[in-house]
Structure 1
C-alpha cells in the first residue's frame, strides 16, 4: 500500500509538471496613470484585456491598477515594467525627457494629422530606429493621441501674441521647447497634476487633447478651448508605449505568447490611435458650455516657421548623439505619409 501511494504521488507530480504548457493560468498586473473611468481605460485598455482573456479561454487575465495604484509616479512607469513591478504598463516616454531620443521625431510640431495612420507609422519607425531604446521591455504598441488643444482658464488663444507671458503645461521635451518659442512659459508635468495646477493658478492653461478632458475635469477648470485648423497637421502630439515585462512574456507558454503576439504590433497601434480619435469626440462634447475657437491656417503659417526651426535643431542634436537626425526625420515623415495614403 505504501509503495502504491508513493507511485500515485509520483504520477501526480509528473502530471502537474505537464500541466503548465497546456493549462497555465496567468494574471497580468497592468499599471497606468489615468483613472479607470478615463477614455484610455474604457476605449483601449479594458477592451484589450477582455480580448486576451477571451482568446486565451480565460487563462490569461489582467488585474488592472489605474491611477498609479501600484505606487510611484507616472515618469516611473517604464522602469516599473522593466523591473517587474508591473507586468504591463501604458505610459508616455516623454515623461522622462531625453531618454528615448529617436521617438522624439514624432513629437515635433506639425507631424501628425491622423492618429490612426501616425500610430501605425510610429510602430514601423520604432522597428527601424528604436529597438535599442526599448530593448529592456517587450513593446506591444506605440501610438499617438489626437490633435493637441489649448485649454485656457481666462482667455482664448487666437494668435501667437496671445501666448506671451502665459504659463502652459506641456507634456514632452519638444513641446516644451515649442511652447517657449511661441512666447509662453512651459511647465512640464504629467496629466494627473494638471487639474490641481489649474485650480490653484499655478498654470494659465494646458495643452492636451480633448480625450483628457474628463480625467482632470477640464470642462470645469478651463473656460476656453482653442483648437488649431483641423485641415492642418496638429501643432503637437505625444507618443505613448504599451509595454510588457520581457521576462513575464518569455515565461508564457507558447499558446499564450501567441495570444499576446496576435494583440500587439502595428495593427494594435493603429487601433489605439483610432480609439483616441473617438475619445477626442467624446471629450469635446463635455466642453459645449464653454467657448471654443479655431486658430486658422493663415496664423499657423507663422507657427510652422518656428516648428521648422525646432525640427532642424532637433536633427542637429541627434547628430551630436551619434544618430542621423536627418534620416530619422525623413523616415518619420515618409512613414506617416505612407500610412496616411493607405487609409
Structure 2
C-alpha cells in the first residue's frame, strides 16, 4: 500500500526531514505493507492552502499544513495562535493535542488527525531597521502567516500582508514586503537569512511574539479502510507523543538555524520584557476579540481560551 504524502516544505526543511523517518517507521512496523510516496514542495499539485482539502478529497492520503491557511475553517485551534501564548514548541504541542481532543474534534471531523504541533518561537525579521519598540513597526510591510498574526501586526502599527510561506522569498527579494514573521528554523531553510538584515527577538523567558498551528492529517476513509493491525501501526505513531516530538525538534532547530544568520553578518537585537509589556496588552485585546468572534459562532470561547492557558501552564510546569 502506497500512502501519498503532500507538504509544502523544500527537502532541506525540518518538516520534510521529520516526515521521512516517520514514513520509514511506518514501513518497518507494518512489514512494508504501508510505504510513503512523499511529494515535497507541493509536487502533488495545488497550493499550501489546498493541502487540507487534498487530504479530505483523497488526492493525498496524508498532508501536513497550517489550519490558518484556511481562515475561519478551524476556529477551535486558533486560540494557540494568539500573541504571547507559547514559550516552547514541545510543551505547547502537548497542550495543543490535549486541547484538540476536547474542543477540536468537530472542526477536524473530515480527517484523521495524526499530530498537532507548533513551531519554535516566532520572531520579527526585516530589511528596514531594527524593531526595538512598538513604534518601529509603523510603516513596515510585514508578512504574516495567519489571520491572528495579521491582526497583531496591524495593531502593532505595521501593514500586514498575508501569504503562505513559499511565497515569502520572492516577496522579500522583490520588496513586496519589508519583512516577515517566522521561526528561526524556516529562515535558512528558505535562504531568507541571505535576504534579510535585521532580526528582532523577544527576550529570553518571555513568551513568543507568535506561533502557528500545524496539522498532520490522514484521509479518513483511507485510515478507516485499513485492517486492524495497520490501524494500530498508525495509532502507535500518532497523537500526543508524535506532536510533542515534532515540537521538540523545532525547539532544537532554532539555535543552529539562528547561527546561520549570525554567520551571514546580520544584525540582532533583543526586545526587553519592559517593552513587550505594551505589546502583550495588544495581545490581550486580540484575545478578547477572538473570544467574542468564536462565541458568536457557537463555540464556548472564554472556556476555550481559559483551557488553552491552563493546559499551557500544566505542560510547562517543571
TM-score (norm 2): 0.98
Q: Which of 290, 295, 307 pairs up with 2:271?
A: 295
Report the Cα distance in structure 2 between the residues aligned to 1:114 and 1:150, rounded to whole angstroms: 17
The number of residues matched between the two structures is 316
Q: Which of 21, 35, 38 pairs up with 2:10?
A: 35
Matching of residue 119 in structure 1 with residue 77 in structure 2: no
For residues 324-343 of structure 1, what are the structure 2 equivalents within 5 Å?
Answer: 324-341=300-317
For residues 160-171 of structure 1, what are the structure 2 equivalents within 5 Å?
Answer: 160-171=134-145
Say if 1:146 and 1:237, in contact at 8 Å, map to a contact too. yes
Q: The residue matched to 2:248 in structure 1 has which SS?
A: helix
Say if 2:154 and 2:160, in contact at 8 Å, map to a contact too. yes
Q: Deviations over 1:177-205 (max 9, x none)?
A: 01000000110000000000000000000
> 1:219: how far off?
1.1
Matching of residue 230 in structure 1 with residue 184 in structure 2: no
Matching of residue 220 in structure 1 with residue 188 in structure 2: no
Say if 2:188 and 2:261, in contact at 8 Å, map to a contact too. no
> 1:54: how far off?
1.7
Query: Equivalent residue for 2:110?
Result: 136
Say if 1:151 and 1:207, in contact at 8 Å, map to a contact too. yes
Q: Which of 205, 216, 235 pairs up with 1:261?
A: 235
Say if 1:151 and 1:218, in contact at 8 Å, map to a contact too. no
Query: Equivalent residue for 2:248?
Result: 274
Say if 2:114 and 2:216, in contact at 8 Å, map to a contact too. yes
Matching of residue 101 in structure 1 with residue 65 in structure 2: no
Say if 2:115 and 2:242, in contact at 8 Å, map to a contact too. yes
Query: Equivalent residue for 2:21?
Result: 47
Q: The residue matched to 1:317 in structure 2 has which SS?
A: helix
Matching of residue 205 in structure 1 with residue 179 in structure 2: yes
TM-score (norm 1): 0.91
Report the Cα distance in structure 1 between the residues aligned to 2:189 and 2:170, rounded to whole angstroms: 12
Q: Deviations over 1:263-322 (max 9, x none)?
A: 000111100100111222221121012111111111000101111111011111111111
Q: The residue matched to 2:73 in structure 1 has which SS?
A: coil
Report the Cα distance in structure 2 between the residues aligned to 1:212 and 1:240, rounded to whole angstroms: 14
Say if 1:118 and 1:339, in contact at 8 Å, map to a contact too. yes
> 1:143: how far off?
0.5
Report the Cα distance in structure 2 between the residues aligned to 1:321 and 1:82, rounded to whole angstroms: 23
Q: Deviations over 1:15-41 (max 9, x none)?
A: xxxxxxxxxxx1110000011111111
Structure 2 stretches lacking a partner, 5+ long: none
Structure 1 stretches lacking a partner, 5+ long: 1-25
